[in-house]
Amino acid sequence: VVGGQPGNSPWTVSLRNRQGQHFCGGSLVKEQWVLTARQCFSSCHVPLMGYEVWLGTLFQNPQPGEPGLQQIPVAKMVCGPSGSQLVLLKLERPVTLNQRVALICLPPERYVVPPGTKCEIAGWGETKGTGNNKVLNVASLNVISNQECNIKHRGRIRENEMCTEGLLAPVGACEGDYGGPLACFTHDCWVLEGIIIPNRVCARPRWPAIFMRVSVFTDWIHKVMQL
Amino acid sequence: QRSPLNDFQVLRGTELQHLLHSVGPRPWQEDVADAEECAGRCGPLLDCRAFHYNVSSHGCQLLPWTQYSPYTELQRSGHCDLFQKKDYVRTCITDNGVKYRGTVAITIGGLPCQHWSHRFPNDHKYTPTLRNGLEKNFCRNPDRDPGGPWCYTTDPAVRFQSCGIKSCREAACVWCNGEDYRGAVDRTQSGRECQRWDLQHPHAHPFEPGSLTNIWTTTTAGILTAPSGPGATPLIRRWSENSATSRAAPRSIKGSEAQPRHESTTLNCFRGKGEGYRGMANTTAAGVPCQRWDAQKPHQHRFAPEKYACKDLRENFCRNPDGSEAPWCFTSRPGMRVAFCYQIPRCADDVRPEDCYNGVGERYRGSVSRTRKGVPCQHWSAEMPHKPQFTAISAPDAHLEENFCRNPDRDSHGPWCYTTDPGTPFDYCALRRCDDDQPPSILEPPDQVVFEKCGKRVTRLDQQRSKLR
């Protein structure tokens, strides 16, 4: 996260490859399910042996025995509907919810976040020298309407995407944050409204950031978990 | 210092299931140190052809069959690796094929082989045993015939005939410098047996096998043995010594094991791990410019373009010459050696839509019956491999006929079906929304929404700080 601060995001998870290296973020939407970005995986049928989700830590490289750290193998991957850029990961066993690990709720189907809503991104990715790369960083961003976003992005923003305001100082997601959450505070609740997807560059000043709009796929998420 | 693992080929993340319940594998042995020890146990046993190694529990299970045995099926596994004896899985012969244990059972002239246990139509002196491998009617070479494996034929007029199984030496070739070679040759030109890449002895080395090798798309090539002597033909021959012509098709391909260009080239997106990406993206996902491949500053590296002629290491374009997860490059920033170019989008890997639907497709009544990935749909009336929640009885209005794509739950992403892939309960179909059908916009003024449950967290700053220590 560029322009963020060390912070707390108990639903943000770290995806780890077989070498234990962090490669993407994700969001805990159910005890045994993580939502992340399709771009993080080479195929919808990639063997997942050795892949893990790490939760309950703020450190990118927690020491062995770190209190609260949960390391859960990924059992299964389900790719989202065409154009969604989403992937659901089923974990080998449910996580233990506590003060460090919490679920984030899903938005109602087709819910559109009102412009001006305060949201946060979180991740262990690149900070481009703006912060501490070794801990979870959080940055605040405000939602803007697709109409406003399209002025800058020349009409390329689809309805299944959403935008946050581009600030003068670069603030936004970067390499290693992909798949992580855009969590918005709505009606006293933190809701997973967007998923961080790769963009051409990270945190470009004055350019709105683009996220996948989760509410368009809420029905798919429930269906996958149910079936 | 030869490892017993050298006699085995591995399929990572794979289990071999025997579909007949009456035939059970041997029990798991949990007291082994590693796969090498399992190989040491399986190797000398004539009725052990393969073994499972559980990477989590460090257990092994010896198997009397291979993937080519009847009633067996490969399945993906989260914790098992499958090791199979090379003699049973290679499709070409080494030397004169005395050790060949494959399943070819037809002669070069197209005649079916006679079972070795039969004495008719051709009487003979051979008695099948586990040691001589005279199994069923498979081609074998029990008399060390220089012509390779042979069999008695079922044609009374032709007593025996060679099976014409190709020598592994004739069955492999490489492109360019062989950086894409994925065959199974395991001897050097001088005849020395190779050390396995997944072992660090007798020689320690930095070349760990790719952690994400996709065994489901990798072909298994033949395994060669030593040439007959010094100066013999290299085991893997080059089609062209000149890198400038290295992209030309081979003049001829002998056998079925030649190494084709296995990944199609892409320019604006990347497929799989992006080894075929040939586009002009030249920054990392974070916008850092890439270092030129032919430069050694600011980062020294081994990926000189001339050494990787097939990899198109031009200028400073993002490429994947080493089987990494995605196209990458050395960056122009001294403090950041390499970075992925994840800003390049992945190519859509869906099959071509076969029909279209209106709305969400709840009235689609066409006969498309495969998913967007090309997997055939399961019949709505079937209970296997997935037990359906929607049936013709429970959803009579949905017209759940045969295995046609339908939308009984008004899924907003279109018609779907249960799939015949046991690992994929359901998926959307090879259909698209009809061109003249505009979906209703969701960007209307939002209704008042009440969230019934939501994410909560401790927000006190002092607690955050204490967690950061």
Nearest residue of B to residue A106 by CA position?
B454
| Arithmetic mean of pLDDT, B239-244 | 32
Contact A190 B343 (CB under 8 A): no
CA B59 to each of CA A48, B32, B37, B51, B67: distance values in angstroms, whole numbers, following the listed order? 20, 6, 10, 10, 20
Task: Decide if B451 touches A, using CB distance below 8 A.
Answer: yes
Judge whether residue B453 has pLDDT over 80.
no
Q: How confident is the model at residue B157 (pLDDT cuts 50, 70, 90)?
A: very high
Distance separating alpha carbons of residues B34 and B36, to the nearest angstrom:
5
A57-78 confidence digits (pLDDT tens):
999 999 878 889 999 999 999 9
Q: Which two tokens stand for residue B336?
A: 């950041």
Q: Which two tokens stand for residue B281?
A: 């993206």
Q: Which two tokens stand for residue A143?
A: 């939602």
Instruction: State whether residue A150 is helix, strand or coil.
Output: helix
A188-205 confidence digits (pLDDT tens):
789 999 999 987 778 888
Residue of B12, B52, B76, B212 to mutate for A, most A C-beta atoms under 10 A? B212
Q: Which of B13, B211, B457 lies closest to A8 in CB terms?
A: B457
Instruction: State whether residue B244 is helix, strand or coil.
Output: helix
H or E, element range at A35: strand A33-37
B395-447 confidence digits (pLDDT tens):
999 999 999 999 999 999 999 999 988 888 999 999 999 988 887 888 865 55
**Which segment of A76-85, A122-131, B203-212 scores lowest on mean pLDDT?**
B203-212
B299-328 confidence digits (pLDDT tens):
999 999 988 888 999 999 999 998 887 899
Instruction: Name every chain B residue with its beta carbon within 8 A of the beta carbon of A212.
Output: none
- Confidence (pLDDT) at B238: 38
Closest CA to B236 of B218, B254, B217, B263: B254
Q: How confident is the model at residue A151 (pLDDT cuts 50, 70, 90)?
A: very high
Distance from CA of A143 to the nearest CA of B (A): 14
Nearest residue of A to residue B433 by CA position?
A82
Distance separating alpha carbons of residues B188 and B220, to the nearest angstrom:
19
- Could you say which DSSP state residue B57 is in? T
CA B155 to each of CA B107, B122, B165: distance values in angstroms, whole numbers, following the listed order? 11, 9, 20
Closest CA to A210 of A124, A121, A111: A121
Q: Phi first, then psi: give them for residue B86, nearest 5 degrees.
A: -60, -35
Instruction: Name every chain B residue with its beta carbon within 8 A of the beta carbon of A112.
Output: 442-444, 446
Query: Strands, DSSP E only, in B46-109?
Result: 50-54, 59-63, 72-76, 80-85
- Could you say which DSSP state residue B345 is in? P
ipTM over 0.95: no
Q: Are A99 and A116 contacting, i.e. CB atoms less than 8 angstroms apart?
A: no
Q: Which of A16-30, B343-357, B440-454 reaches the highest mean pLDDT?
A: A16-30
- Confidence (pLDDT) at B206: 77
Judge whether residue B222 has pLDDT over 60.
no
Helices (H) and strands (E) in chain B, counts: 3, 16
Longest CA pairwise span in chain A (Å)? 50
Contact A111 B426 (CB under 8 A): no
- Confidence (pLDDT) at A46: 73
Residues found in chain B: 469
